[in-house]
Amino acid sequence: MDYEKVLSNKVQQLQFSGIRKFFDIAASIKDVISLSVGEPDFNTPWAIRKEAIRTLEKGKTTYTANAGLMELRTAITDYIKSRTGLEYDGAHQVLVTVGGSEAIDIAVRAIVDTGDEVLIPQPSFVCYAPIVTLANGVPVIIETTAENGFIITPDEILKHITPKTKAIILPYPNNPTGAVMRRRDLEKLADVLRNTDIMVISDEIYAELTYGDERHVSIAQMEGMQERTILINGFSKAFSMTGWRLGFAAGPEPVITQMLKIHQYSIMCSPTMSQYAAVRALTDCEKDIETMRNEYDMRRRYIVKGLRDLGLECFEPEGAFYVFPSIKTTGLSSQEFCERLIQEKKVAVVPGDAFGESGEGFIRISYAYSLDHIKTALNRMEEFLKELGK
């Protein structure tokens, strides 16, 4: 059978992410110390796990409504309101999805027709461009820089807008850079976007993991922006629930209705046990989130100082659980640096170019690990850099 003929050209031309390639290398080496995961190291808080167990004991294992349990959608609208002041109608403006990823996918699919353009800032999470491509859209990359704090500026948006621009992805707090967009930055973006018909797909999965005195702000909070924003969040990062596969989208009813159509045909509904557990997460786990956030924050400061002490230029991350230091002074490319680091010192970090070409010259380091683990890895990196310098 000639599979190349059978399989879609579009899909075959899609590349596996650079992260997967690096995973293969890491998996082939024994006793690797990894600083490469994109998921929390904490167990899901016990109250949430208990709720799921109870759900199973009661035999609540059927489908739910397509859009998700009404009880959960209500909890989600309360949660969004408490964090942002924004009001959504749980019955028509909220959709419970299989992780934030599904929400991104169906948001793009609901908006994009063939040839439509979607603005994507990079470095960023690996899924945006492929999802746009699969929807027959055209990803238009906006490269952010360390000098600009890896945020997206109004000028950059204006430069890339064309009559075909349908949407912009706004991935903040950002994976891999740890950059956040503060209120003042969002105001400026809103000034540019307010008078357009461009939808903002705001991926706020790391919203709870924003450090410093100012909490996370959503672009939907800016004047006139709620009606042109699809707010996406989920339970994976904040509640340490990656394996539960649960996220949500909140937005204008006409958009959510179309997204629901796709969701209904492709997914039916999100996992029922996860949904019940998520209600508990939203109503009963404020303290757990805070404990985890404080722990991440402490590690963040520790690792940033550690890397700077090693002589690496390190942008101050204010969100998520990643640092994105520059390795340009070593003269190595991101790939070379990471491959040699893992071969010579068995430390796995992710090459920055896996998150877009503008990530070249950087590496992504995750601090979703214990302090002891991070310390050991930093010691090995120190040895590595010393040997490089010789």
Partner 1 sequence: MTKKDQLVNILRQNARMSNEQLAAMLDISAAEVAEIIKELEESGMIIGYTAIINEEEYDRNSVSAFIEVRVSPEVNCGYDDVAAVIAQYPEVAAVYLMSGGYDLAVTVKGTNLRDVALFVSDRLAPLNGVLSTTTHFILRRYKEKDKMFIKNTDERTLVSP
* Whole-number Å distance between alpha carbons of 329 and 54: 54
Q: Does 42 bind partner 1 (CB under 8 A)?
A: no
How many positions of this chain bind partner 1 (CB under 8 A)?
31
Q: DSSP code of 359?
A: G
Is the Cβ of residue 57 or residue 372 nearer to partner 1 in the bound state?
A: 372
Mapped to the 3 state alphabet, what secondary structure does 111-122 carry? HCCCCCEEEEEE
Stretch that binds partner 1, among 24-32, 47-55, 164-172, 244-252 (CB under 8 A): 24-32
Stretch that binds partner 1, among 31-39, 72-80, 151-159, 263-271 (CB under 8 A): 31-39
**DSSP bridge pairs for 117:** 138, 165
Place of tokens 């230029």: 313
Is the Cβ of residue 23 or residue 79 nearer to partner 1 in the bound state?
A: 23
* CA 350 to chain CA centroid, nearest Å: 15
Q: Does 301 bind partner 1 (CB under 8 A)?
A: yes
* Cα–Cα distances in angstroms (integers) from residue 115 to residues 136, 165, 236, in the given order: 6, 9, 32
Binding mask 169-198 for partner 1 (x = CB under 8 A): ------x-----------------------
Stretch that binds partner 1, among 84-92, 166-174, 277-285, 371-379 (CB under 8 A): 371-379
* Whole-number Å distance between alpha carbons of 245 and 65: 17
CB of 346 to partner 1, least distance (A): 11
Element (H, E) at 200: strand 199-203
Q: Does 244 bind partner 1 (CB under 8 A)?
A: no
Is the Cβ of residue 40 or residue 361 nearer to partner 1 in the bound state?
A: 40
Q: Does 313 bind partner 1 (CB under 8 A)?
A: no
Stretch that binds partner 1, among 37-45, 107-115, 245-253, 263-271 (CB under 8 A): 37-45
Q: Are 72 and 279 in contact (CB under 8 A)?
A: yes
Q: Are 230 and 199 in contact (CB under 8 A)?
A: yes
Going 53 to 57 to 62 to 65, the CA torsion angle's sign is: negative
Residue 161: both structure tokens together: 């807008």
Stretch that binds partner 1, among 36-44, 57-65, 83-91, 276-284 (CB under 8 A): 36-44
* Whole-number Å distance between alpha carbons of 95 and 232: 10
* Cα–Cα distances in angstroms (integers) from residue 384 to residues 15, 89, 189, 193, 344, in the given order: 31, 54, 41, 46, 7
CB of 355 to partner 1, least distance (A): 9
Query: Which one among 137, 247, 306, 359 touches partner 1, defined by CB under 8 A?
Result: 306
Q: Does 305 bind partner 1 (CB under 8 A)?
A: yes
Binding mask 99-128 for partner 1 (x = CB under 8 A): --------------------------xxx-
Residue 41: both structure tokens together: 């190291």
* Whole-number Å distance between alpha carbons of 58 and 66: 21
Q: Does 19 bind partner 1 (CB under 8 A)?
A: yes
User: Within a 13 Å sphere around the CA of 203, how many CA atoms are in the beta-carbon half?
Assistant: 28
Q: Does 274 bind partner 1 (CB under 8 A)?
A: no
Q: Does 147 bind partner 1 (CB under 8 A)?
A: no
Residues that bind partner 1 (CB under 8 A): 17, 19, 22-23, 26-27, 32, 34, 36-39, 41, 125-127, 175, 294, 298-299, 301-302, 304-306, 348, 350, 354, 371-372, 375
